[in-house]
Amino acid sequence: MDKVKAKKHLGQHFLTDENIAKKIADTLHFEGYDNVLEIGPGMGVLTKYLLEKPVNTYVIEIDTESVDYLNANYPKLHNHIISQDFLKYDINKTFEGKQFAIIGNFPYNISSQIVFRALELRSQVAEFSGMFQKEVAERICEKKGSKTYGILSVLVQAFYDAEYLFTVHENVFNPPPKVKSGVLRLKRKENFALPCNEKLFFTVVKTGFQQRRKTLRNSLKSLNLSESLREDTIFDLRPEQLDVQQFIAITQKIEADAI
């Protein structure tokens, strides 16, 4: 069967370097889950290495031309090809509440949304690795104090240990993207339940970073903090100065304040 013609609106940049594909497939530990979901397999450059691993490999692909290609070339995938949009599909139709890992050379136009969706599914997503635009991969793994530290860094690192693994040059893709790529791995923490109201934690982090130059006293005004809580010196800080533990501490203070 002919190769798939790259479609720009689907973020298709096909990896052409087999060694890098193998290296990405090797980033997962394959422990603590029996299922792996590859998002956006395209022509299966990563998939073929995943199929050698001691897990059930599933792929989800929005492009029907790629799905036809996978069906024709990877008989081992048989009924594990989900021809759907990952952002819209209810993955538990496939996994029924089971633990799984996510992997991919992701479509860069929706890579942040993929991470947010994975966070929603965190009680099932034990491990997550793959390729992003380099800056996005770096931002996710960034620590406090850096200019690029933001919502994704805090929310991901609250539940996962994040590791930037290696950089990939644009010339190993067809067509080459305009940016460099970076591969990261997220391993869910042993105890990933936060000692605070998790919904409020998400709100505090997102609201705080909406105005990253302002102190949290200013940016969290919409949360109606009491006069006495507003005097707490932790609110003198700007969001980029707080690590996960401090965001948890703020959330706990706001929770106590509301009682």
Write out the binding residues. Answer: 13, 15, 40, 61, 85, 105
CA atoms within 13 Å, Cβ hemisphere of 252: 10
- Minimum Å gap between C-beta 164 and ligand SAH is 19
Using rule CB under 6 A, residue 239 touches ligand SAH: no
**Residues 22-61: x where in contact with ligand SAH by CB under 6 A, - otherwise, as a string:** -----------------xxxx--xx-------------xx
Number of residues that bind ligand SAH (CB under 6 A): 23
Q: Give whichever of 41 and 208 is closer to ligand SAH, judged by the CB atom.
A: 41
> Smaller CB distance to ligand SAH: residue 66 or 251?
66
Quote the CA–CA distance of 30 and 100 in Å, as a whole number. 9
Using alpha carbons only, what angle is made at residue 181 by residues 175 and 187, rounded to the nearest 5 degrees?
A: 135
Return the C-alpha torsion angle 169, 173, 179, 182, nearest 10.
Answer: -60
List CB contacts of 172: < 8 A, sequence separation 6 or more. 15, 16, 17, 20
Q: How far is the CB of 57 from ligand SAH (least distance, A)?
A: 13
Residues 6+ apart with CB under 8 A from 175: 6, 13
Amino acid identity of residue 191, one-letter, is: N
- Out of 27, 57, 105, 181, the residue judged to bind ligand SAH by CB under 6 A: 105
In the bound state, the residue with its beta carbon closest to ligand SAH is: 40
Q: Residue 12, interface with ligand SAH (CB under 6 A)?
A: yes
Contact 46, 15 (CB under 8 A): yes
Q: Does the protein bind ligand SAH through residue 168 (CB under 6 A)?
A: no
Which residues here bind ligand SAH, judged by CB under 6 A? 10-15, 39-42, 45-46, 60-63, 66, 85-87, 105, 107, 110
